[in-house]
Every structure is written in structure tokens, then in C-alpha cells.
Structure 1
Amino acid sequence: MHYALNPRTFFYSHYFHLGLRFGAGLVGIIWLTLAVSDMHTAMSVGIGALCTALMDLPSPLRHKLNEMLASVLLCSIVTLVVSLCAPYFWLLMVVLVLLSFFASMMVVYGKKSMPLQLATLFIMTMSMEHQMAPLQALTHAGLFTLGGLAYLAYAMAISWLLRHRIKQQVLAEALFELAAYIDIKADFYDTRYNLTEQFNKLVRHQALLADRQQASRDLILRAHQNRKDAIVVQVHVCMLDLYELILSTHTDYAQLRVHLVDSPALKSLHDLAFKAARDIESVAYAVTRKLASYAQISYAPELEAIEAELAVLQARIDAGKPQHEALAVLRAQRNKVRAIIRMIGELHVASQKAYDSTPFWRDADMQPFLSQQKYELQVLLSHLRMDSPIFRFSLRVAMAIAVGLAIGTLLPYAAHNYWIILTIVIILRPSFSMTKQRRGDRIIGTVIGCVITAVILKWFDYPAVILAVLIVATVATPTFVYLRYRYTAIAVSIMILLQMHLAAGGSDNVITERLVDTFIGAAIATVFSFVLASWEYQSLPKLIQQVLAANLRYMEASFELLQGKCRNDFPYRIQRKGLMDSLAGLSAALVRMLDEPASKQRAVEDINLFIVQNYLLVAHVAALRAILRRHVTDIPAQEVNAMLAVSHRQVCHTLTAALARHGVSVTMPGSGAPAVPAHADTGSVNWSGWPVVQRRIRLLQADAEKIIVHSEAIERNVVQA
């Protein structure tokens, strides 16, 4: 279950607070307008507020102002143009199709432009039904703009007052997702779970975790100037360090299960991971409540059980039994778990302290860690070509809306073109998988919403009841839009149908007609999801190149840090983030491809293994960092650096060769040097860390070699397609 759907955390999440802010602002603006004017004016103002509210998302204040102001201006122009064209049927049809195309082209600016595209198409749809004289159209557009500006001022004021609170909520969400990530890792120690399926699940969740961590960075690292901000910065940085330690816990789980199959140590490791997840959740829970977090979970029983098992294994070794590998693996996991427990303790402490300023990276440039968004016209123009997925999506939307308008004019009952068009707009998404999901949610949500509305109007048709249901539906609409869209579809259907009932009394067939319109719109969207479709496999070569290039840069920064050539881990953190982002993008593409028709799926298993192998390289580097930090006092630096240099050349040479297979030529310093065994010339130095370092480097090199195999297989499959 998503953390925000849990009643214990739901009312403290930014999703619920968004719904409250949305509902209070929208209802408040409409009531204030009704106090000084009539219902028609209030509805015009309310629609303006509603369209602007669609852009009211957690975001830095300056970005939020720009995004919401863009929504007000763009939607005001659209409502004026559509209102002026409404009396002229053919002109209106042409304008609607053109607006649909250009609104959909805005998707080129990324995920944050999606609400703006929806707001533009929504107001276009709502304006097409009203025929107005030019003066009335100008008045309506003016009232719309007034409502939009009113909500803009309200939202900015609330966001400024609660700016620190929003940071806490977004940070808490990242912590909750990190806890869920550990829960998945815990099941690696449970022999009831298949390792391959569990690893697939882990990699998928890593994409979600990367997205939540980026949202936290964007809010927390842009402006952190007071003592309250210093606390969330400290917790955020501790969270990222903890994440790296969690990555370092990766081991050969199949071997671990073989060696410890009859040992209670596996259950102890599972229970330690489970407790660690609950411990992190307790920090997140405290952060959402603006409280300091204190450790309340004891790991002692499990740690004592592991120590006892280590003693048993050592005794067996002393008795001449071959248990060396089991002892080494369990001891390594014990050390990593202890490091994680200590870091969780630091996470608790970070939430307790008061800081005069933010001590981390005070003079560093934070831009590489932050999402960069440029709204340049040239970006849009560069996508006006048939091989652009966004251009094809825009054509798809325009054609679907044209067909929806044509069918709406032929309906035997009073035409509701706007409901058909609205259904198409909501369902038809840039990717086939998103369209498929939205279609199911929209149909099921509309059916349930219509049934609930029918029950209310038949047995509970009282103004107080209808008003209460309207308020609940208004709050629920934005609350669940990113959690469970089906709930949003239910709330929207109830809200619109009850508003129609209050405004015009409605007809006996209004609910049935809306259901028919929804099915028609869904059918049109489904048909056009196959027209000029951009299938996910077509984007694979570019995504593979991005992952390989990011991994090569990450390896360069990693070995610079491991060999002590760079004392500042800032460049390493930047490259790690870049690699994780590129892996998350490829993982998301794979998940979407699995929702596409089987004939459009390519190299699924190889892509999955390619993602896993790249992920493992990150885990090996994290493990090496942890090992070297643990032996910092007795490490033979010269010999270890020589071994790391050899490994560096081999891994970078491997990744460079993989990039070359995909048509990208990269020259790395020393990449052409011959590889030698990573354990060469180490026997003369007596250091207890050699076995674990050598083993980890061998795994690193082996997994790097596997990347070439899977990247070549992906290339063959995609090229053949």
C-alpha cells in the first residue's frame, strides 16, 4: 500500500493538504463571488480558479508563480478565442482541433507541463458549449482571468506560509519510499521469494524512489536559509548517505541462501531489514508532524543472533569443516547492517538538532542536483517532425478530438460534445500504457460516480447533503490524482453531475447520457492510441546510450574518489544521481513497454538484466567505499590504489566498448591498457581487507562484462524490429 493511502499517514501527506488547499480555495472564491454577484458570474470565476488550481503542485515558490501565471494567461486566451468562435460551427471545429494539437505539443517541456496541457484542453472543452456575443465573450474571459488570478494569489500566499511544511512533507515521502525499498530488500533473505522476481521488483521501485528523491532535492536544496531549513537539509543528506549504504548491502543472495539455508541468520537478517524500514518510517512519520524523531527500535536480539551464528561457523571452521565462505559472507552482511543502523541513528539525530545555518555544501553549486526546466520556443519547434513522439502524440490527440466532435453532432439525444472531448483529453496520453491505465480508471470511476450520484439524487436529495458531498468530492479530486486516478474519476463525476443538478435541475437521463458519452470517448481514445503510436522499443537505443554514458562518467568519478585522487565526494554524488536518473528512465520505459501489445515488446529479458547489471555496478562501488572506510586506519594505500587503477581501466574499457557498439565513440584515458588480474602483487602485503576488496572488484569487473552481452542483445533485437 502507498504510504499516503494509509489512514495513519494520509492526513499528514502533501496529497491531502493539496486537496484541502484546492477545495478551500475553489469553494471560497465561488462563495465570495456569489456574495456580490449571481450564479453565472460565480461559475465563470470558479472555472478560472479551477484551471489555475490544476497547476497547484509542490514546487519552489518562484517556479510555482511562473507555472501558475502561465496557466492563467494561456487558459484566458484559449477561453476567449473559443468563446468568440463558438457561434460559427466550422470555425469552432477548426480552432478546437488546432488548439488540441498545440496544447499537446507542450508536453515537450516535460512532466511539469502535463498539468498545463490538461488545463488548456479542459478550458477549451468547457468553453465550446457556450455561444456568446463578442462583448459577452470578453466579459466571460475577464471573469475567468479574475478567478485564475484570485486562486493564484491565494495559492502563493498559502505556499509561502507553509513553504517549510511542504518541504517536510515531500522529504517524508522520500523517506517512506526508502523504507518501502528496504522492505523489498528484506525479502531477499526469505527463501520463499524468488530472487529474480524480487530483483525486478527492487529495480522498478528504484525508479519511483529516484523520482521522490529528486522532488525532495528540488524543494530543499534550492533555498535553505533558516534554522528550520537546515534541519530538513541535514535529514535529506543523511537519507542520501543511508541510501548508498543500503546499495552496498547487495551480495550474492543465491550463494548466501545456499551457505545459510539451515541457519537462523537468514531470518535475523530479514528481521533487521524489516526493523530498519520501520525505523526509517518513524523518522518520516515524525517529519510529517514537525517533530524530532527518537530511536525506539532495538536491533539487539537480531544482532546477538547473528553474532552467535558467526561463533558457530567459526567453531565449525576450527573443527576442519569448509565454512569459510559462509563465515565471510555473513560477517560482511553483519558489518553493512551495523553501518546502516548507525546511519539511521544519525538520521534521528539530524531531526533533533537546531542549526544556525546549513552546513552541507554551503558554497557548492546545487544546479547539477536540481531539475532544469527551460521553456524555450526552439525546443517546441525542434519537435515539429514526424519522427518525434510528441509530434505524433499531438496529431493523435487532434485527430481523436476531430472524430469526437463529428460523432457528437450525430448523437440522437441532446449533444454533449464537451463530455466526449473531455473523456478523450483525459484518457489519451503520450504513451500506450498510460492511455490503457487511464481508460480503465476513467470508465470504472465514471460508472461508480454515476451510481453514487443516482443514489444521492433518489434518496438523499437535500441541499445540505448535496453540498457536503460536493465539498468532499472537490477535496478528493486533486488528492488522489497522483495516487489513485480511479478515485479522482469517481470524485469528478460526482462533482460535475451534482453541480449540473444544482445549476439546471438536470434531466432524468443526464446520468445515462454521461455514461454513454464516457464510453464513446473511451472508444475513440482507444482506437487512436494505435494511430501514429510511438512504441517504447523505438526509444530504447537512446536510453541505453544514456545509461552507458552515465555509468562511464560515474565510474570515472567513483575511482577518483576510491583512489583518493579526489577528497570531495561532490562530483561523485552528481554522477551517481545522473546514473540513477538514467536507470530510472530506462526502467520506466520497460514497465510501459510491458503494458503494450506483445508484438511491440522487444528484448524484455535483456533490458531487465541490463538494468540489473548497471544497478549492481553502483552497489559494488558503494560496497567498496564502505569497505575502504571501515579499514581507513590500516589500509596499504599504494597497493590498494594500484589494484583499483587496474580495475578502473578494465571497467572503463568495457563500458567504452559497449558504447561503441551503440555508435558512440568515447576515448577514455588509459582505456586501451591491457587488463591484469585485480589481485596481482598483493601477496607481499599482510592486510585483512584483501579478500573482501578483491572479491568485490572481481564482481564489479564480471558484472561490467555482462553489460556488453546484454547491450548487444538489445541492439540486435531492436535493429531487427
Structure 2
Amino acid sequence: MHYALNLRTFFYSHYFYLGLRFAAGLVGVTLITLQFAGMATAMTVCIGALCTALMDMPSPLRHKFNEMSASVLLCGFVTLLVSLCAPYHWLLMTVLVLVSFAACMMVVYGRKSMPLQLATLFIMTMSMEHSMTVRESFIHTGLFTLGALAYLAYAMGISWILRHRIKQQVLAEALFELAAYIDIKAQFYDTRYNLSEQFNRLIRHQSLLADRQQAARDLILRAHNNAKDAIVVQVHVCMLDLYEQILSTHTDYAQLRLHLADSPVLKALHDLAYKTARDIESVAYDVTRKKASWPEISYEPELDAIEAELASLQQRIDAGQPQHEALAVLRAQRNKIRAIIKMVGELHSASQKAYDTTPFWADADMGPFLSQQKYELRMILSHLRWDSPIFRFALRVAMAISAGLAVAAWLPYAAHSYWIVLTIVIILKPSFSMTKQRRSDRIIGTVIGCVITALVIRYLDYPALILAVLVLATVATPTFIYLRYRYTAIAVSIMILLQMHLLAPGNNDLIMERLIDTFIGAAVATAFSFVLANWEYQTLPRLVSEVLQTNLRYMQASFDLLQGKGKDDFAYRIERKRLMDALAALSSALMRMLDEPSSKQRAVEDINLFIVQNYLLMAHVAALRAIVRRHPHEIPVDALNAMLAESHDQVVEVLTQALAPHGDAGQAGEDALMSAATLSAQTAAARAAALVPWSGWPLVQRRIRLLQADAVQIITHRAAILRDIA
């Protein structure tokens, strides 16, 4: 369950705050307008506020102002344009199609432009039903813009007052998702769960976790000028370091299960991971409540059980039993888990008070860590080509809306074409999987919303009660839009139907007409989801290449850090973040592809394994960092750096060959396999003979061998992916 769907945490989440802010703004603007004008004017002002409210998301203040201002200007222009064209049917139809196409092209600006696209299409549909004179059109647009500006001023004021609170809430969400990630890791120690299925779950969640961490970066790292902000930065940086430490806990779980299947130590390892997740959740919960967090969980029983098992294994080895591999794997896990527990303690400490200096890089440019906001016309122009997925999406929506308008005009009953069009623009999304999910949520949500509205009108038809339900629906609409869209669809249906009932009571066919219009719009959207469709497998070669190129840069930064080059780990953190983003993009594409028709799915297993192998490379690097940190004084620096340099060259050679053209991929894999295996054997032999004594050598050598082997596997899976797609 998502943390914000739990009542204990729901009322502290930024989702609930958004719902309250949204409802208070809309209701407030409407009530103030009613003091000076009638209901029709108040509804026009309210719709203006609603369009701007769709852009009210957790964002840095400057970004929020730019996004909401764009909504005011664009939606105001569309309102005027459609209102002026409404008396001329042929001109109106042409403008509707052109506006739909232009609005969908805005998707080139990324995920944050999606609400702006929706707001533009929403006001287009709301304006198309009203035929006005030129004077009335300008007055209508002025009232709409007044409501939009009023909500803009209100939202910016509230966001400025709550700017630190929003940072805390977004950071807490990232911490809750990290805890959920550890819960999945805990099940690797439970023999009831299949390892491959767990890896798939882990990869899916890593995509979500990367998204939440980026949202936290965008808010937290842009400005931290006081003690309260410094605490949030401390917790954020500690969370990222903890995440890397958790990555390093990857081990050979199959070997662990094989050797320790009958031992209670597996349950102890599972319970340790479970407790760690709850410990992190306690930090997140305290952050949402603006409190310092203190450790309350004891790990001693499980740690004692592990120590007892280690002693037992050592006794068996002394008795001549072959338990060396089990001892090594369990001891390594013990060390890593102790390090994680220690870091969770540091996470608690980071929430308690501001340090003397902000725990980040002094005078460093945070730009590489942050999402960049660029709205340039040339980005749209560059996508005006047939092979652009966004161009094809814009054409698809324009054609679907044209078909929806044609169907509405031919229906035997008084259909509401704006409702059909609105259903189409809400359901039809850039990817087939998003369209499929949104269609299901929209239909089910509308049906439930219509049933609830019918019951309210039938049994609770009193103005005060209807207004109370209306306010609750208004709060729920934005609250669940990013959590469970189905709940939002229910709330929107209730909100709009009750508003129409208040404005025009006595229409007994109101609910049934909306249901029919919704089904028609859903049918049109479904039919056009196959038109000019861009299937996910078509983007896979580009995404795979981006992962490999990013991994090459990450490996360079990683080995530079391990060899002590550079004054800090700033460059390493940048490349780690970029690799996580690239893997998250590939993982998201894979998940979307699994929702597409089976005939459009390609290389699913190899993509899964390719992603896993790249994550394993990150895990091995994190483990090497942990080993080096555990032995800071006794390390033979020169010998270690020589080994790392040689290993780096081998891994870079393998990843470079993985980027070979399609036709050479298979041969490149064989050559890399032979090269890496040969050099690895030579390296191991040379080090065994020449290196000075050091307790960390076996651990370092083992991790480097695993790093090289997993790098080679990347070539195999990349070649299989390209072969299957071709």
C-alpha cells in the first residue's frame, strides 16, 4: 500500500495538503465572486481558478510561478479563441482540432507539461458549448482570467508560507519509498519467494524510487539558507548515502539459500531488513510531523542470531566440513547490514539539529542534480516530423477529437459533445499502457460517481448536504490524482454532476446522459489508441544505448573515486544519479510495454536481465566503496590502485564493445568474454603472488571478479535485445 493511502500518514502527506489547498482556493474564489455577482459569473471565475489549480504541484517557487503563469496565459488565450469561433460551426471545429494538436505537442516539455496540456484541453471543451458575441467573449475571457489570476496569487502565497513544509513532505515520501524498497529486499531472504520475481519487483520499484528522489532533489537542493532547511538537506544527503549502502548488500542469494536453507539465520536476516524498513519509516513519519527522530528499534536479537550462526559455521569448518562459501557470504552480509544499521542511526541524527556546515559541497553547482525547466519553441518544431512519437500522439488526439465531435453530431439524442471530447482527452495518453489504465479508471470511476450522485440527489437533496458533498469531492479530486486516479474520477464525476444539478435542477436524464457520453468517449479513445501508435519496443535500442553510455561515465567516476582521485565524491554522485535515471527510464519503458498487446512485446526477459546486470555493477561498486571505507588505514594504496586501474580498463573495454553496432554485437560479446576471462585469471594469479598482505584482498578480488563477469553478461543481453527487436 502506498504510504499516503494509510490513514496514519495520509493527513501529513503533501497529497492531502494539495487537496485542501485546491478546495479552499476554488471554494474561496467562488464565494467571494458570489458576493458581487450571480452564479453564472461565479462559475466562470471558478473554472478559471480550476484551470490554474491543475498546475498547482510541489515545485520550486520560481518553477511554480512560471508553470501557473503559463496556464493563465495559454488557457486565457484558448478561452477567447474558442469563444470567438463558437458562433461559426465550421470554424469552431477547425479550431478545436488545431488547439488539440498544439496542446498535445506541449508534451515535448516533459511530465510537468502534462497538467498544462490537460488544462488547455479542459478549457477548450468547456468553452465550445457557449455561443457568444464578440463583446461577451471578451467579458467571459476577462472573468476567466480574473479567476485564474486570483488562484495564482493565492497558491503562490500559500506555497511561500509552506515552502519548508512542502520540502519535508516530499523528502518524507522519498524515505517511505526507500523503506518499501527494503521490504522487497527483505523477501530475498525468504525461500517462499522466487528470486527472479523479486528482482523484477525490485527493478520496478527502483524506477519509482528514482522519481521520488529526483522530486526531493529539485525542492531541497535549490535553496537551503536557514537551520530548518539545513536539517532537510542533511536528511536528504544521508538518505542517498544509505541507498547506496543498501545497493551494496546484493549478494549471491541463491548460494545463501542453498547453504543456509535449514538455518534460522535466514529469518534473522529477513527480520533485520524488515526492522530497518520500519526504522526508516519512523524517520519519514517524524519528518512529516516536523519532529526530530530518535531510534526506537533494537536489532540485537537478530544480530546475536547471526553471530551464533557464524560461530556454528566456523566450528563445522574446523571439523572439516566444506562451509567456507557459506561463512564468507554470511559474514559479508553481516558487515553490510551493520553498516546500514549504523547509517540509519545517522539518518536519525541528521533530523535532530543542523550541523555547523551544510552537509553538501561548498560552492558546487547543483545544476546536474536538478531537473531543468526549458520551454523553447524550437523543441516543438524539432518534433514536427513523422517519426516523432509526440507528433504522432498529437495527430492521434486531433483525429480522435474530430471523430468524437462527428459521433456527437450524429447521435439521435441531445448528446453533450463537450463531455465526449473531455473523456477523450482525459483517456488518450502518449503511451498505450497509460491510455489503457486511464480508460479503466475513467469508466469505473464515472460509473461509481454517477451512482453516488444519484443516491445523494435521491435521498440527500438538501442544499447544505449537497454543498458538503461537493466540498469533499473538490478536496478528493487533486488529492488522489497522482495516487489513485480512479478515486479522482469518482470525485470529479460527483463534483461536476452536483454542480450541474444545483445550476439546473430537475434534469432527470442528467446522470444517464453523462454515462452514455463517457462510454462513447472511451470507445473513441480506445479505437484511436491503435492509430499511429508508438510501441515501446521501438524506443528500446535508444534507451539501452543511453544506459551503456551513462554506465561508462559512471565507471570512470567510480574508479577515480576508489583510487583517491579528486577532492570529493561530487562527480561520482552526478554520474550515479544519471545512471539511475537512465535505468529508471528503461525500466519504465519495460513496464509500459508489458501493458501493450502481446504481439508488440519484445525481449522482455533480456531487458529484465540487462537492467539487473547494470544494477549489479552499481552494487559491486558500492560494495568496493564499503570495503575501502572499512579499512581506511591498512590499505596498501599503490597495490590497490594498480589493481583497480587494470580492472577499470577491462570493464571499460567490455562496456565499449557492448556499444558495438547491431551486426557486431554477438562477436563483440564472445571477444569480450574471452578477453575479460583471460585478463581476470591473469590478474588473480599476479595479485596472489605479488601483493602485500591485507585482509581486504579476498573481498576486493571477489567483487572485481563479479564486476567483470556481470559486465560481460551485459553484452549478451544487449545483443539478444537488439536481435529480438530486429
TM-score range (shorter-chain normalised) is over 0.9
Pairing 1:632–2:639 present: no
Structure 1 position 300 matched with structure 2 position 300 = yes
Q: Does the 8 Å contact 1:227/1:357 carry over to 2? A: no
Higher mean C-alpha deviation, range 392-401 or range 558-567: 558-567
Note the C-alpha offset of 1:354.
2.8
Instruction: Indicate the SS of the match to 1:644.
Output: helix
**Amino acid aligned to 1:704:** A
* Among 669, 692, 700, the residue aligned to 2:699: 692
Q: Determine whether 1:400 maps to 2:400.
A: yes
- Asked whether the 8 Å contact 2:583–2:611 carries over to 1, the reply is yes
Deviation at 1:36, TM superposition (A): 1.2
Structure 2 contact 183–274 (Cα < 8 Å) conserved? yes
1:48-77 deviation digits (Å, cap 9, x = unpaired): 000000000000000000000000000000
Whether 1:679 and 2:684 are equivalent positions in the alignment is yes
Structure 2 residue aligned with 1:552: 552
1:65 aligned partner, one-letter code: F
Contact preservation (8 Å) 1:79, 1:124:
yes
CA distance in 1 between counterparts of 2:415 and 2:319 reads 87
Q: Tell me the secondary structure at the aligned position of residue 222 of structure 1.
A: coil
SS at match of 2:679: coil
Q: CA deviation at 1:357?
A: 5.2
Tell me if the contact between 1:56 and 1:155 (Cα under 8 Å) persists in the aligned partners.
yes
Matched residue SS, 2:74: helix
Alpha-carbon separation, structure 1, partners of 2:16 and 2:537: 37
Q: Deviations over 1:552-591 (max 9, x none)?
A: 0000100111112234110000000000000000000000
Aligned to 1:504: 504
1:408-419 mapped onto 2 (5 Å cutoff) = 408-419=408-419
State the 1:467 CA deviation. Answer: 0.4
The aligned amino acid for 1:22 is F
Distance in 2 between residues matched to 1:480 and 1:409, nearest whole Å: 34
Structure 1 residues 471 and 629, CA gap change in structure 2 (3 angstroms): same
Match of 2:138 in 1: 138
Letter in 2 for 1:588: S
- Name the CA distance, whole Å, in 2 between partners of 1:448 and 1:287: 36
Contact kept? 2:55, 2:68, Cα under 8 Å: yes
Work out the CA distance in 1 between the residues paired with 2:664 and 2:204: 27
* Alpha-carbon distance in structure 2 between the residues aligned to 1:360 and 1:617: 26
Counterpart position of 1:249: 249
User: Does the Cα contact within 8 Å between 1:230 and 1:356 map onto a contact in 2?
Assistant: no
Map 1:152-231 → 2, pairs under 5 A: 152-231=152-231
Given that residues 207 and 588 in structure 2 are in contact (C-alpha distance below 8 angstroms), is that contact kept between their aligned partners in structure 1? Answer: yes
Matched residue of 1:413: which SS? coil
1:410 deviation in Å?
A: 1.4
Paired position in structure 1 for 2:613: 613
Q: Is the 8 A contact 2:3 2:176 kept in 1?
A: yes
Q: Is the 8 A contact 2:415 2:513 kept in 1?
A: no
Work out the CA distance in 1 between the residues paired with 2:206 and 2:271. Answer: 21
Partner of 1:11: 11
Contact 2:558–2:621, Cα closer than 8 Å, also in 1: yes
Task: State how 1:91-170 maps to structure 2 within 5 Å.
Answer: 91-170=91-170
Helix, strand or coil for the counterpart of 1:610? helix
Q: Is the 8 Å Cα contact of residues 189 and 253 (structure 2) preserved in structure 1? A: yes
**1:415 Cα shift?**
2.4
Q: Work out whether residues 63 and 373 of structure 2, in 8 Å CA contact, stay in contact via their aligned partners in 1.
A: no
CA distance in structure 2 between the partners assigned to 1:18 and 1:176 by the alignment: 19
Q: Write the deviation string for residues 176-229 of structure 1: whole angstroms up to 9, x where unpaired.
A: 000000000000000000000000000110000000000000000011111110
Compute the displacement of 1:680 (Å): 3.6
Does residue 716 of structure 2 align to residue 709 of structure 1? yes
Report the equivalent of 2:442: 442
Q: Which amino acid aligns with 2:354?
A: A
Task: Show the 5 A alignment for 1:289-328.
Answer: 289-328=289-328
Write the letter of the residue equivalent to 2:645: A
Structure 1 Cα separation of the partners of residues 243 and 23 of structure 2:
36
CA deviation map 1:473-515 (0-9, x unaligned):
0000000000000000000000000000001115111101100
Cα offsets for 1:687-718 (capped at 9, x unmatched): 11111111111110000000000000111111
1:70-96, CA deviations, whole angstroms, 9 ceiling, x for partnerless residues? 000000000000001111111100000
Q: Is the 2:427–2:439 Cα contact (8 Å) retained in structure 1? A: yes
Aligned to 1:275: 275
Percent identity between the aligned chains? 77
Q: Find the residue that maps to 2:192 and give its secondary structure.
A: coil
* Alpha-carbon distance in structure 2 between the residues aligned to 1:296 and 1:359: 25
Partner Cα distance (1:569, 1:519) in 2: 55
1:239 partner letter: M
Q: Give 1:663 deviation, angstroms.
A: 9.1
What amino acid is aligned across from residue 679 of structure 1 in structure 2?
A: A
Confirm whether residue 718 of structure 1 aligns to residue 719 of structure 2: no
Listed one character per residue, the Cα deviations across residues 633-684 of structure 1 (whole Å, up to 9, x for unaligned) are: 211112221211121111100000011235999xxxxx99993533243234
**Does the CA-based 8 Å contact 2:408-2:420 persist in structure 1?**
yes
Tell me by how many angstroms 1:337 deviates: 0.3
Distance 2:356 2:375 in 1: 36
Amino acid at match of 2:485: Y
C-alpha separation in 2, matches of 1:411 and 1:510: 16
Paired with 2:509 and 2:355, the residues of 1 have a C-alpha distance of 63
| TM-score, structure 2 normalization | 0.97
Alignment of 1:576-615 (within 5 A): 576-615=576-615
Q: Tell me which amino acid in the other structure corresponds to 2:509.
A: N
1:331 and 1:639 map into 2 onto residues whose CA distance is 25
- The TM-score, its normalising length taken from structure 1, stands at 0.98
CA distance in 2, matches of 1:2, 1:88: 49
Aligned partner letter, 1:181 = Y
Give structure 1 regions of 4+ aligned residues with deviation exceeding 6 angstroms: 671-674
Which letter maps to 1:281? Answer: E
Residue type at the aligned position of 1:287: V
Structure 1 unmatched runs, 5+: 666-670
Name the aligned partner's letter for residue 709 of structure 2. A
Q: Distance in 1 between matches of 2:15 and 2:59?
A: 13
CA RMSD of aligned residues (A): 1.3
- One-letter amino acid matched to 2:339: A
Rounded Cα–Cα distance in structure 1 between residues aligned with 2:175 and 2:33: 42
What letter matches 1:545 in structure 2?
S
Seen in structure 2, the aligned counterparts of structure 1 residues 429 and 167 have a Cα distance that, compared at 3 Å, is: same
Conservation of the 8 A alpha-carbon contact between 1:541 and 1:715: yes
Distance 1:87 1:66 in 2: 33
Find the aligned partners of 2:271 and 2:462 in 1 and give their Cα distance.
54
User: Whole-Å Cα distance in 2 between the matches of residues 123 and 506 of structure 1?
Assistant: 26
Please name the residue that 2:89 is paired with: 89
Q: Is the 8 A contact 1:187 1:198 kept in 2?
A: yes
Partner Cα distance (1:468, 1:90) in 2: 42
Shift of 1:268: 0.5
Aligned partners of 1:294, 1:597: CA distance in 2, in Å?
50
Distance (Å, rounded) in 2 between the aligned partners of 1:277 and 1:633: 32
Please name the residue that 1:668 is paired with.
none
Please tell me whether the aligned partners of residues 415 and 517 of structure 2 are also in contact (alpha carbons under 8 angstroms).
no
Matched positions, count? 714
Partners in 2 of 1:491 and 1:581 — Cα distance? 34
How many Å separate the matches in 1 of 2:685 and 2:100?
Answer: 65
- Note if contact 1:449-1:491 (Cα within 8 Å) is conserved in structure 2: yes
> AA paired with 2:633?
T
Note if contact 1:446-1:493 (Cα within 8 Å) is conserved in structure 2: yes
Q: Secondary structure at 2:660's aligned position in 1?
A: helix
- Give the whole-Å Cα distance in 2 for the aligned partners of 1:298 and 1:165: 30
Structure 2: state its 5+ residue gaps. 666-671
In structure 2, relative to structure 1, the CA distance for the partners of 1:707 and 1:506 (3 Å cut) is farther
Secondary structure in 2 aligned to 1:36?
Answer: coil
